[in-house]
Structure 1
């Protein structure tokens, strides 16, 4: 089923770069290409250490990760043409850093940025304990976030397989406030849509979510959906409709209104 959004559906072609959550893979977006309007080309970026790239070591430093992703994009996405970025949870932080890197290196910016299931960077706390956190603490965090079946959380072989990437990702998220503080940079210029789950404890503070507005000079809107941290799986139709509509709005040409000419009486009054 393809999402339709009426007469405002996306008509100019746009590439939508998608990034997954901590420890997650691009399988999160497996249905997006088929269900979004045909003018949207979905390009997923798989981080090292998971999915088809699980044999590669996961990055634990922001500069190295962003260098890797910028290299991955070259030859696959023409950033001189309209593109947008969507990231879920940690993917939103990665997406933000990727956008700033592309603007600094290539002078290009997206037409739209979708930040999902995470609070604004300025509202996050620096955490340095995740890289060597006890196993039980990691499992407890995964349990609180949801999205991982209980039987997998009890499967030691599975956890041993995914834990290195999970530790690296949690470590990156914990270092992000420090990274942002050290990188003096101007806000984005594109519209930002913040998507959250109504029952997600990670985004329960409305002020922390609204603070995304400080990351852009463009408009910033918040969209709430039924579900928790992984609301993407709970209400896919509504989420994809929101993404399609947001892209259509970002790509729409600006409307220029010509002021009406005053009548003779109005001209005399002026």
Structure 2
């Protein structure tokens, strides 16, 4: 079996997280997939920088800062808020006639056309944000036990949810956003609280191949079912490289 040509997988984090959430994938994925975690302002190695709390401004910042990485053989992956951001990045690249990713891979997020702002808690209410962290899962108990870590986490989560609130698909209707001219591969948790039609609606954003893989688990199925998820991720990346165009739904 031949080894696919090397491809960069640029990964954007979920709300409240840093690029480190993807570091553990590096030794777990085949060498032909180069995991490139993208750090956003205000967290991790960029802790001293101000948050960017507007969706369009953050997408523009990502495209500017990652201009060198957004060339050649690359794909975009994002989980939750990260999925919305990679959609925005792909649309911005296309609008400016810049090189496009070979595929867009989105996880744990409603389709851009089906966003439900009512799912987000009050971004200035620590109690509401803490309850949301508990509900979504994925946050280590040591974070809840540390006042300092909780302050950092809540500040980041609030800023990121304001990014999500500032996204408006309706505002883009006049621009008639066409389906993306690339494969769109989507991943979802069966116990996540995102309605199935909101996940399936990603198909309307795919002008090429579309797949939707389901996994047991909640919003952070990518950790709860990590081995099965990474197997599916490798399969979909390989499919995109091979030019596969068929649509499918799968369960892991």
**TM-score normalised by L of structure 1:** 0.82
Aligned residues: 242
Alignment match, 1:221: 211
Check 1:220–1:56 CA distance in 2 against 1; reply closer, same or farther (3 A cut). Answer: same
Quick one: distance in 2 between partners of 1:108 and 1:181?
Answer: 26
- Over the aligned positions, Cα root-mean-square deviation in angstroms equals 2.2
Unaligned segments of structure 1, at least 5 residues:
1-6, 256-270
Alignment match, 2:240: 250
Q: Find the residue that maps to 2:10 and give its secondary structure.
A: strand
**TM-score normalised by L of structure 2:** 0.88
Stretch deviating more after TM superposition (241-250 or 100-109): 100-109
1:170 CA drift (Å):
0.7
Higher relative contact order (CA 8 A, sep 6+): 1
- Select the residue among 18, 25, 34 that pairs with 2:18: 25
Alignment match, 2:93: 102
Q: Find the residue that maps to 1:196 and give its secondary structure.
A: strand
Report Cα offsets for 1:223-244 as digits up to 9, x if no partner: 1122211111122221111111
1:151 CA drift (Å):
4.7
Check 1:17–1:10 CA distance in 2 against 1; reply closer, same or farther (3 A cut). Answer: farther
Alignment match, 1:125: 116
Alignment match, 1:4: none
Quick one: distance in 2 between partners of 1:10 and 1:46?
Answer: 29
1:130 CA drift (Å):
5.7
Report Cα offsets for 1:121-166 as digits up to 9, x if no partner: 2211346986753211111111111111345335332222222221
Q: After TM superposition, what 4+ stretches of structure 1 lie above 3 angstroms from structure 2?
A: 126-132
1:40 is the counterpart of 2:40: no
Q: Find the residue that maps to 1:118 and give its secondary structure.
A: coil
Bigger Cα Rg: 1
